[in-house]
Amino acid sequence: MARALVVRTVLMMAVLGAAAAASSAPGTRESVREILGARHPVTMTAEDWRKLGGDVDVYLIEAAADTALRYGVRQRAMSGLAAVGGPRAKEFLRDTIQRSKVAPELLSTAVHAYAKGFAKSDPDDVRLVSVPLLDHVDWVVRQGAVRALGEMGTKEAGEALRLRQTRETHPAVQSALRKALGQPEGGKR
Amino acid sequence: MTERARELGGRMLALSAAFGILAGSAAAQDKSEVEGARQARIAAMASRIEYQTRDLSTLAPVAPVVNPIRSQPGPAIRSFTFDWASDTVSFLVYAESGTGSVGITLEPGTPERPNSYGAWASFVFPGVDDPVPPGKYSFDVTGAGSDAAVVKSKSRRGAQPSSGTLDLNLFVLEGCGLTNQGLAEALVVFAEVMADARIKLGKVSVVTVTGAAGLLSPGSFGEANGTAAALSQQFTVNPPNTLGANLFFLKNVPDVYGFSQGIPVALGIPGAASGGVVISVDTHNTDRGFDGRELGLTMVHETGHSMGLYHTSERDGSQHDTINDTPTCAGGSEAGCPDGTNIMFWSGHGVDLSEGQGYVLRRSPIVH
């Protein structure tokens, strides 16, 4: 708990400091918000994001943490952080996953984004934070954890998914499990 | 300052304060009345929705009917013609491939723009705000890598409309998180924006789809597209309103607020894979509650696509619609573009529909 508070404080200070430093890139924040709010997803590579400004991750974090914004905007911001990568994105997503009061929709996206962004560079940590969420009470979170572990494709991740498959009851998570494990759908809805 | 001046100054201050309180009180009362009227509209909307339930798990899968457009393997092009009479109001063509991609080409110089969406393609006349001269029109259907496609049309005839009514078929997957209150709030916004085009909201039917929990939350846009195709094939065969716009409500599609299955979709064509629009309900949630207004705007935007409207401008300014009276933008944001307030702009929170867009919408095959 104390560690989480310290991490959050340090992270927020880093974000605020970087936001102040980012004043040399006017319009970055507006461009980020415009893309996140687009009627349809705008395909953005890490390079596309960085073209908006060197501190684009700061504005993505700001959007992802903004409680006034729709979950869709915040989910897109997390996907953006997965693409951009870097220590601030990693710390923010990890902190989001470990916070106690996060909406299931956002938690699900955060764990999947964490895997998409960092499964290659830090597979052990991604597995460490994802596996406990396979037993989450909300099926939406379990589905996100399944997709995260499916993203990894490692032997350990596969073992955790197969174990979950023996007791998962929700059809949407069962379907995600089959996809993550490369099993045929079998015509089930 | 004399005593008299001080006394006057004090009285003025007291009066100002009193007026301030009165003004504040009046503003609060106005706000309360506005909110009361809004709640009344939402309640009235909620009361007119008709509900029914269908269990997807008990329905047999619908096999798409595929007619050959060629008999030999190899690149295929087949030409079609249709007549536009003086009383034709609109004409929609929809091509659906069984196995590969399909495309449509119109005659050179035609202002309408056909849309290909992989396994299906379509166009609608009028797609712009110009009267279509009576005569014979032709188009080609091409099958790239596909052996067969079904080509269907839907026409509307009668007097040229100056107003219209649009019915809605809302297929809500059980467990997607959409509440009656959230839906009613969204429908109020939907009705307000459509009124700009002189289109009234007609019958609103909600079909709660049970036995479809596995389809609630596709993992990707591609997966959502497949889910939508299956739902469309199943539920457009016998919808509550034969000529209604179809909207499918899922719980969550990653990074998506909503999408139309085509521009236009197969309006009024039963059993088509591309029969409506998909709405991702969760993406309209906030930590402070459900954003019914934004849901309503998403519903209008996607329904606009499904009835043949394109974005007024794309983000980079490379493409625009061909409607005569919508402004165009060379690229940029809502605030910096003259069409930023339009509901069909690529981003933002616009609510406007132009007269030209209304011309197309009012003539849609599903408006009556």
* Yes or no, beta carbons of A170 and B255 under 8 Å apart: no
A51-73 pLDDT, tens digit per residue, is: 999 899 999 999 999 999 999 99
Is the minimum CB–CB distance between B220 and chain A shorter than 8 Å? no
The DSSP secondary structure of A1-63, one letter per residue, reads: -HHHHHHHHHHHHHHHHHHHHGGGSTTHHHHHHHHHT-SSPPP--HHHHHHT-TTHHHHHHHH
Q: Which residues of A touch B211 (CB under 8 A)?
A: 189
| pLDDT for residue B62 | 64
| pLDDT for residue A1 | 40
Q: Give the A:B interface size as CB pairs under 8 Å.
A: 94
Q: Which of A31, A36, A40 to mutate to test the interface with B (most CBs of B within 10 A)?
A: A40
What average pLDDT does range B120-146 have in this prediction? 90
Distance from CA of A16 to the nearest CA of B (A): 22
Q: Which of B261, B263, B282 to mutate to test the interface with A (most CBs of A within 10 A)?
A: B282
* Yes or no, beta carbons of B298 and A189 under 8 Å apart: no
pLDDT of residue B108 exceeding 60: yes
Which residue bears the tokens 């008299």?
A: B4
> Using CA atoms, how far apart are residues B78 and B133, in angstroms rounded to an integer?
24
Nearest in space to B64 (alpha carbons), one of B230, B176, B205: B230
B175-192 pLDDT, tens digit per residue, is: 999 999 999 999 999 999
Is the minimum CB–CB distance between B226 and chain A shorter than 8 Å? no
Nearest in space to B297 (alpha carbons), one of A106, A70, A67, A30: A70
Among chain B residues, the shortest Cα distance to A79 is held by: B255
pLDDT of residue B310 exceeding 60: yes
* Yes or no, beta carbons of A30 and B347 under 8 Å apart: no
Calculate what percentage of chain B has a pLDDT beyond 90: 74
Count of beta carbons in the 10 Å neighbourhood of residue A84: 21
Distance from CA of A87 to the nearest CA of B (A): 23
| pLDDT for residue B75 | 58
B 45-64 near A (Cβ less than 8 A): 56-57
> Using CA atoms, how far apart are residues B20 and B14, in angstroms rounded to an integer?
10
What average pLDDT does range B160-166 have in this prediction? 97
| pLDDT for residue B32 | 87
Distance from CA of A35 to the nearest CA of B (A): 8
> Using CA atoms, how far apart are residues B158 and B284, in angstroms rounded to an integer?
39
* Yes or no, beta carbons of A189 and B348 under 8 Å apart: no
- Band (B16; pLDDT cuts 50, 70, 90): low
Residue B210's alpha-carbon distances to A64, B171, B203, B251, in angstroms, are 33, 10, 22, 13
B 305-324 near A (Cβ less than 8 A): 311, 315
Interface residues of chain A, partner chain B, Cβ below 8 Å: 30-31, 34-35, 37-42, 67-73, 75-76, 79, 103, 105, 109, 140, 143, 147, 170-172, 174-176, 179, 188-189
Q: Which one is predicted more confidently, B74 or A141?
A: A141
* Yes or no, beta carbons of A41 and B255 under 8 Å apart: yes
| pLDDT for residue B30 | 83
| pLDDT for residue B142 | 86
How confident is the prediction for chain A on average, in pLDDT? 88
* Yes or no, beta carbons of B301 and A39 under 8 Å apart: yes
| pLDDT for residue B74 | 55
pLDDT of residue B356 exceeding 90: yes
B236-268 pLDDT, tens digit per residue, is: 999 999 999 999 999 999 999 999 999 999 999
A87-118 pLDDT, tens digit per residue, is: 999 999 999 999 989 999 999 999 999 999 99
Q: Is the peptide bond before B254 cis (omega within 30 degrees of 0)?
A: no
| pLDDT for residue B88 | 98
How confident is the prediction for chain B on average, in pLDDT? 89
Lowest mean pLDDT among B124-133, B154-163, B323-332: B323-332
* Yes or no, beta carbons of A39 and B286 under 8 Å apart: no
Q: What is the DSSP letter of B107?
A: P
> What does the CA dihedral B212, B295, A48, A129 come to, rounded to 10 degrees?
-50
Calculate what percentage of chain A has a pLDDT beyond 70: 84
> Using CA atoms, how far apart are residues B253 and A47, in angstroms rounded to an integer?
25
* Number of residues that make up chain B: 368
pLDDT of residue B59 exceeding 70: yes
What average pLDDT does range B31-56 have in this prediction? 93
pLDDT of residue B98 exceeding 80: no
Question: Which tokens go with A79?
Answer: 């996907």
| pLDDT for residue B78 | 82
pTM of the model: 0.89
3-state secondary structure of B278: strand
| pLDDT for residue A5 | 45
Distance from CA of B144 to the nearest CA of A (A): 25
- Band (B21; pLDDT cuts 50, 70, 90): low
pLDDT of residue B273 exceeding 50: yes
- Band (A27; pLDDT cuts 50, 70, 90): confident
Among chain A residues, the shortest Cα distance to B231 is held by: A189
Please say whether the beta carbons of B172 and B209 come within 8 A.
Answer: yes
